[in-house]
Amino acid sequence: MMDRLNGPPPLMIVSDLDFTMVDHEDPENLSLLRFNSLWEAYYRQFSLLVYSTGRSPTIYKQLRKEKPLLTPDITIMSVGTEIAYGESMVPDSDWEQCLNLNWDKDIIIQETAKFPQLIPQSDTEQRPHKVSFFLEKSNSSEVIKALSERLEKLKLDVKIIYSNGTALDVLPKGAGKGQALAYLLRKFKANGRTPLNSLVCGDSGNDAELFTIPEVYGVMVSNAQEELLQWHAENAKNNPNIIHSSERCASGIIQAIGKFSLGPNVSPRDIKDFGKCRVNVFSPGYEVVKFYLFYERWRRAEVEKSDQNFQNLKSSFYPLGTFVHPCGTEQPMKKCTDTMERLYGDKQGKQYQIWLNCVSTSQIGSDSWLVKFDKWESTGEERYCCLTTVLLTAKQAEESFTWMHIHQTWLDGLEAKDSSVWFL
């Protein structure tokens, strides 16, 4: 991750997942897909995406399978008690070491067992530095008060956090989402990589700490829980760097990027007609995001099958280039144009969504680039993904690109059984 950066990242987003990045009331994941295309088009190369979730690694990985979540650079799990890096999720064992200080999980388990109102959560959610329960909202304040008095009397250095009006976590005092972020910022500083701007995003009680870290911007999404709004009213009301967005979840994050002027804030997904778009962004990362949005809309018949659109498409493929299909067969790009023509509208009225993950570009000549990304496709039930490499050359005069060569390979476990359902 650090190798990718050649200086401080312009932006670091630290976002909660459930009901912040992910809207569980949005079955089509529209706001998440808006965020994804914004991030991949403009931010992926130099900025940092950090998820900070209450979920354990087990149920975090489940969510990754269910929702079109991008790969974060860093994953903070189990309410700031576990930190992992990259897609392979290399754990930060220094952080776990830190949390061992004065932490005795067995005593916590013994003491909490004396409170019948505390119902233990599933085994997956009990972690080395996190003991978790369900607690009913109605008498939560009294129980929390009694519990903290009891633990204090025993001189245990713990932190009790109540979230979503349902969950109670007991953690080491030095843990939590805020402390984990502070730890990361210290590490960045030591490497001269402090992000120019950081934006924290959350919706519930365990996110409150994120908003206490100095010099970060913050967004409480419109659908934030009462407990977070109340915390804000009592502790951070006059901080102009924290907003309560008027939009839900990931759309609220985009709103905050605009509000605090942290960088581009128009999601390519919101641009209905790229041809009429005032600002033509001329970058290879933007090009692939834009192309695949057009491709999705083409197959859904949400763009017109006009001569203009078809000519544009045709002129962006180099006819003598080759496309290597993930099943291994090769075809000239000319044939891709024909296939595209044939596939117009074949997904009309169907659930059909495309998103790109981990777009990375490298310039390999004065006007040529290699662009590499995971191209995901979901048809509702099925999900497929291909590692995709594209060779692009620039037509400087027109500020556009030509697709010279495309090569796709299936990602393990995400191949289509019938490879003819996958085109590009």
| Closer residue to Mg ion, CB minimum distance, 55 or 129 | 55
Which tokens belong to 167? 């969950």
**Residue 374 near residue 358, CB atoms below 8 Å:** yes
Binding track, positions 113-152, relative to ligand GLC; x by CB under 6 A: --------x---x------x--------------------
Binding partner selected for residue 19 from ligand GLC, Mg ion, none, CB under the kind-specific 5 to 8 Å limit: Mg ion
Binding partner selected for residue 197 from ligand GLC, Mg ion, none, CB under the kind-specific 5 to 8 Å limit: none
Options 36, 163, 316, 388; binder of ligand GLC; rule CB under 6 A: 163
Options 9, 12, 13, 18; binder of Mg ion; rule CB under 5 A: 18
Q: What are phi and psi of 160, to 5 degrees?
A: -115, 130
* Residues numbered 166-225 forming contacts with ligand GLC, rule: CB under 6 A: 167, 169, 206
Options 12, 14, 19, 268; binder of Mg ion; rule CB under 5 A: 19
Binding partner selected for residue 121 from Mg ion, ligand GLC, none, CB under the kind-specific 5 to 8 Å limit: ligand GLC
Q: How many CA atoms lie within 13 A of 244 on its CB side?
A: 16
Could you say whether residue 60 binds Mg ion (CB under 5 A)?
A: no
Shortest Cβ 29–ligand GLC spacing (Å): 19
Report long-range pairs for 337-346 (Cβ below 8 Å, ≥24 apart).
337/313, 339/423, 339/424, 340/295, 340/298, 340/313, 340/424, 341/310, 343/298, 343/299, 343/423, 344/298, 344/299, 344/301, 344/305, 345/299, 345/300, 345/301, 345/305, 346/299
Beta strands in 26-138, from DSSP E residues, in sequence order: 48-52, 74-77, 82-85, 90-91, 119-120, 131-134
Contacts of 30 (CB under 8 A, 6+ apart): none
Options 54, 80, 172, 284; binder of ligand GLC; rule CB under 6 A: 54
Question: What H or E segment, with its residue span, contains residue 36?
Answer: helix 30-38
| Closer residue to ligand GLC, CB minimum distance, 206 or 408 | 206
# binding residues, ligand GLC (CB under 6 A): 11
What residue ranges bind Mg ion (CB under 5 A)? 16, 18-19, 203-204
- Which residues would be at the binding site for ligand GLC (CB under 6 A)? 54-55, 59, 79, 121, 125, 132, 163, 167, 169, 206
